Amino acid sequence: MKHSAFTILAGIFLTSATQAGTETYTTTPAPSQGLWEWFAGGSIGYLTDIEEPMYTLHAGVEYTHPAQRGTHLVYLEVGLTQDDEGYLFSPPPGMTGGRTETVDMDADIIPITLNYQYQAPITECLNYYVGLGLGIVILDTSAEWQWTQAVAPPFNQGGGSEDETKVRFYGQVFAGLSYDISESFELFGGVRYIFMDDWDALMDVPNQPTTHTFGIDGDVLLELGGRFHF
């Protein structure tokens, strides 16, 4: 009887000791983190107002988070287009000894902007995007002129040129669609509306001062492009 009681007490003691030495751990899942990814790309487009092509190159980062449906892109972009114009000044019909003058004016328009873009999926590969950009635009302008004056005698002619560079405000809003060709490459197409501080340039042409507005304020750009992800 004493032996049985001892056995029971020993079993209770061992069970209690075993339970006392057991610790319970609760594992908390680590919070999901976003992913930053580098990319670079470019586009070619058509400006519907001045009817000229426009080219762009860009590079930046894209932020993706598992808990968010869309992605966020921040990138630096440089563009290039040209604005050309020609003028002909001639004397009225029947006038003798008048001056005939031709003026060719052109500008390289180089916008430099920092852009933000939000992009979200429509289907597995098709996405929509919207965004905006702010920055500056460099206007590298030039004018060349030639003149002739028929007076008998003598016959006079001459010419000249003038160059000037300006820096102005530039902004844009844009929207479009993109398609994922692979995990590292996408194609996109869209439209941009451009805000710009145009420049009313006065070219000091002898005897015929000439004013021309250089810029693409209010113009609409239709574009196609591609982007590589690294």
What percent of the chain is predicted at pLDDT more than 70?
76
Q: Does residue 181 belong to any structural domain of this protein?
A: yes
Domain containing residue 146: CATH number: 2.40.160
Look over the chain and give the mean of its residue pLDDT values, rounded to a whole number: 84
Least confident of 79-93, 145-159, 207-221: 145-159
Which candidate, 137, 126, 134, places its Cα nearest to that of 176? 126
Domain of residue 121 covers 32-229
Which candidate, 106, 62, 55, 52, places its Cα nearest to that of 78? 55
- pLDDT band for position 205 (50/70/90)? low
Residue 186 to residue 180: CA distance in whole angstroms = 4
Q: Does residue 26 belong to any structural domain of this protein?
A: no
Q: Does residue 7 belong to any structural domain of this protein?
A: no
pLDDT given at position 6: 47
Residue 220 to residue 213: CA distance in whole angstroms = 17
Least confident of 138-142, 187-191, 201-205: 201-205
Which candidate, 101, 100, 97, places its Cα nearest to that of 150? 97
Q: Does residue 25 belong to any structural domain of this protein?
A: no
For residues 56-83, average pLDDT? 96
Q: Does residue 17 belong to any structural domain of this protein?
A: no
CB atoms within 10 A of CB 53: 13
Look up the pTM and report it. 0.78
CB atoms within 10 A of CB 21: 7
- How many structural domains comprise the chain? 1
